[in-house]
Structure 1
Amino acid sequence: MSILQNAQAVLKLYSADCLELTVTDVARRLDMPKANASRLMKAMRDTGMLSTIGDTMRHRPGTVMLDLAAIFRRSSRLISRASEAVSTLSNQFGHTGYISILDRQEVTAVADFPGTNALRVVSNIGRRLSAHQSATGRSILARMSDDEIAALYEDQSLTGSLRSQLSQIRRNGFAASSQESTAGVDAIAVAVGDPATHEIISLCIVYPHGIVDDDGRKQMLKALARAAGEIAADFGDSAFVAPNLE
């Protein structure tokens, strides 16, 4: 692999469950010689992609990555507009909200809005989920054609079951999950796009499984559908399917 591919591989090791790495960690997890891992991480430190933690040999993402993440969010009118909507919904219902994007077969949150209820779902920023195993991921995948799904997933047994799920999401206009990615956590998600930039994002609300009844879920879905519909109208998203609230 090129040095850029290796650097990307290192950065993708970081997650909500892995906040720091040593040279030994990288060498083991990427199956590369320790000397190569050391040279790679030094180059990443020199460019600001990584920084050491105090006087230790532990590394975390560098400030340049933080700057780029902020720039990425600000550079997208769609993410900015959706962030305003999800922030309002999070405050209204007290549950955590997310804006997520698709990255090949994974989905990752690019903005989160912590809930205010005493019992709420904590932030998952930095945690990557399999797209086909999450409401956010499926809401975005449902915007793709069957041919695009087949090209993305070569496993025919998977694409068969996934195709059925996505067909239902296209009819309903939203995706839902119940204790799927995380035990005790449910989610509802709606995807919108910007035809001008070809961006597609998912607006999602997550909430504890045991404290929201059917009526509460319908109220959140109604509000989420209204917010997503307004965004779709503003951006001319003709592919948007208004969620079926029946």
Structure 2
Amino acid sequence: MTTLESAAEVLRCFSPDRTELTVTETAALLGLPKSTTSRLLRAMLAAGFLETVGESRRYRPGALVLGLSRSYRTSSVLFRHVDAAIADIVKQVGHTGYVSIRSGVEVIGLTDHRGSNALSVSPQLGRPLPVHSTATGRALLARMPDDAVRELFPHGWERQSATAPGSVDELLDRLSLVRRQGFAESYDEAVRGAGVVSTAVGTQDDEALAMCIAYPLATVSAEEVNAMKELMVTRTEEIAALVGDHTRQT
């Protein structure tokens, strides 16, 4: 693993539930010797990728990383279109929506819009989730050829939940359905008790984002879900026309 890859793995260790890390914690998460981890964290600190928390020996993402995140959200035309679309959909349906991006075999939420309904569902923003076992991840994977998807999972994975795909072949079957329907969906998968409807759109330079609506399974009718699917597909097609997305999901 290169130093750059190791640094990326360190940054993936952070989440809304884990905003600070010590050398010992990081070494355990990465399965690396403490001496190696200590050198890596010091190098990332010197480069601005990390910063220390006060006088403690704890690390958190540095200003450089946070600045790049803000810069992406500001500069990406695709992000602005998708974020505006999901914000508008949330106002119409009352359920929580968010925008996500794929990073390797994980999908990460970039922004969320809380719904107005009393019972709302939303994964924790920024928490990496397995791309194969989320509706947003499958919406993004459906844009890729099957061979490229297979290359992402040379060793398969352990089934994440009873409703998640358990093998690459099962995943590819679901991606085929996503391409025909124009959307991905999940039930009681990454978020227990939640249903999710997701679509993805991208640009000619391979930037791709997914947007989704998460809703409580116990209180939303099939008619409401179908209306959300139609709305999501329509708005995605509108964005695709604006950004010149020629990757079809149908």
Indicate whether 1:22 and 2:22 are aligned: yes
The within-5 A match list for 1:1-246 is 1-155=1-155, 158-195=167-204, 197-241=205-249
Q: Counterparts of 1:74 and 1:172 in 2: how far apart (Å)?
A: 31
- TM-superposed deviation, 1:109: 1.6
Cα 1:12–1:241, aligned 2, differ >3 Å: closer, same or farther? closer
- TM-superposed deviation, 1:180: 0.5
**8 A Cα contact 2:135 2:186, kept in partner:** yes
SS at match of 2:7: helix
Q: Counterparts of 1:148 and 1:42 in 2: how far apart (Å)?
A: 35
**8 A Cα contact 1:114 1:123, kept in partner:** no
Please tell me the residue identity of whatever aligns with 1:162. L
Please tell me the residue identity of whatever aligns with 1:107. V
**8 A Cα contact 1:16 1:127, kept in partner:** yes
Structure 2: 5+ residue stretches without partners: 157-165
- TM-superposed deviation, 1:204: 0.8
SS at match of 2:117: coil
Using the size of structure 1 for normalisation, the TM-score is 0.89
Q: How many residues align?
A: 241
Q: Counterparts of 1:37 and 1:154 in 2: how far apart (Å)?
A: 27
Q: Counterparts of 1:89 and 1:28 in 2: how far apart (Å)?
A: 41
SS at match of 2:195: strand
Q: Counterparts of 1:162 and 1:202 in 2: how far apart (Å)?
A: 17
SS at match of 2:57: coil
Q: Counterparts of 2:123 and 2:168 in 1: how far apart (Å)?
A: 30
Q: Counterparts of 1:122 and 1:173 in 2: how far apart (Å)?
A: 22
Please tell me the residue identity of whatever aligns with 2:197. I
SS at match of 2:227: helix
Q: Counterparts of 2:155 and 2:26 in 1: how far apart (Å)?
A: 29
Structure 1: 5+ residue stretches without partners: none
Q: Counterparts of 2:143 and 2:31 in 1: how far apart (Å)?
A: 36
